[in-house]
Structure 1
């Protein structure tokens, strides 16, 4: 990501240089534009656990509760943008923009332990999360230090498809209540409990960037956005054979997704 940020900074500097040197004709920013972008994203998240029934409570009480986990996400993203700008005088611009990006941003983490009555039975609790795609609808406010260079801030609504999963892995049978409740995980190794879920999460976004108008109808941009999406959860259900009780489960709660993005883009303005 540090390399990507350096590339974005270089692209912004290269875009700005001709404008300050007076090499391009004055540009009128009013109009509809469409374009494409590519870049990268990075984030960090965490997960916590809670039992859903007495059997899971017994497991957690015996020391089988997974410790909270934290993990990082990163990946490449890219997509399209569509917007409208209205130039106000020679120095200011207002507008609205919508974008939609496919995303390869993903990450995973795990915690482990040993639950008390079964000191020879360690467990591992891995989790995974990914962002398949996201989009934003934003207002833009820009300042024109020259007629061809725009510095802008932007904020608005964000949404995205977030997928998460988790498991509680051991290959050892265990029981509670004097054997009244028994789970045999030996035949379903490695996962004794597992679950996954997905949702279209909503939230907000804010950021800013530089945009340079070149030729007659083309714009080159470098942009940073912070995208905050609501957290999700999944239910991890027992996979092993149970005896003496109904199947058990516990909840795996993921924190809010705070995605940082750095992108470069190219747009065409219609007249």
Structure 2
């Protein structure tokens, strides 16, 4: 009798335990769900951009003019403000960035004065130039170090002279040439970047007057530019 009662109690306890475990299994979990991982977007230089720049330019070439006593001799040099706008496109693959950029600039770097003998006739130093360039660089996350080069054009200076018959003459001629340079650009935000850039520009300027005739005399228009700028990159 005692043995049967013990077996009955043991079985009851076992059934109760199993029922409790089954109910616990049906209850919702008390553990927090696994966190959802969302990777931060990686910055890329790829995209179209537009911007503005300003800086200083200085004439490195020699403006030549005709002197009846000494022949073709050198004139003066000058420098001044440079500023304008640019637009372009970059494409990034890995650490490397390739792109193209065009810009148009006001430039007070020319020597548009004229000389005759020992007399100098001041002219206007302001002019303009533009470039169409390729860019290639290496990106270190938001920093970009690049080189650039391509076609240049403009009316900067070195295209004025004094004609012995007609007096002071000045032409407005747009001349072609080339440019090369480099710079550093940093993305302040995903859309706005700031840069510092240096360029060397060489325009093939030819204009001189002797005896009423425009002569094809080389009047070098070579100048350097150091400028800072900002760009806005479209998403």
- Supply the RMSD in Å over aligned alpha carbons: 2.7
C-alpha contact (below 8 Å) 1:71/1:109 kept by paired residues: no
Larger radius of gyration: 2
Decide whether the 8 Å contact of 1:105 with 1:131 is kept in 2.
yes
1:79 alignment counterpart: 84
Q: Aligned partners of 1:208, 1:147: CA distance in 2, in Å?
A: 18
Counterpart position of 2:144: 150
Q: What are the Cα deviations for residues 145-201 of structure 1, in whole angstroms up to 9, with x where unaligned?
A: x201000000111110245322368xxxxxxxxxxxxx9xxxxxxxx7322212110
Partner of 1:32: 48
Are 2:233 and 1:269 aligned?
yes
Aligned residue pairs, count: 192
Structure 2: gaps spanning 5 or more residues: 1-40
The CA deviation string for residues 98-146 of structure 1, in whole angstroms up to 9 with x for no partner, is: 1111122233474636xxxxxxxxxx354647451111011100112x2
Q: The residue matched to 2:45 in structure 1 has which SS?
A: coil
After TM superposition, list the pairs within 5 Å mapping 1:36-185 onto structure 2.
36-43=52-59, 44-49=61-66, 60=68, 63=69, 68-89=73-94, 91-107=95-111, 108=113, 110=115, 112=117, 124=119, 126=121, 128=123, 130=125, 132-144=127-139, 146-163=140-157, 164-167=159-162
Scaled by the length of structure 2, the TM-score of the pair is 0.72
Aligned to 2:26: none
Structure 1 position 230, deviation (Å): 0.5
* Contact 2:92–2:98 (Cα < 8 Å) also in 1: yes
Cα displacement string for residues 19-72 of structure 1 (whole angstroms, at most 9, x for unaligned residues): xxxxxx85211000000000111113231428xxxxxxxxx4xx4x56612311
**How far apart are the structure 1 equivalents of 2:58 and 2:179?**
15
Q: Which has the higher strand share?
A: 1
Q: Does the 8 Å CA contact 2:105/2:128 hold for their aligned counterparts? A: yes
Written as runs of structure 1 = structure 2, the 5 A alignment for 1:197-216 is: 197-216=171-190
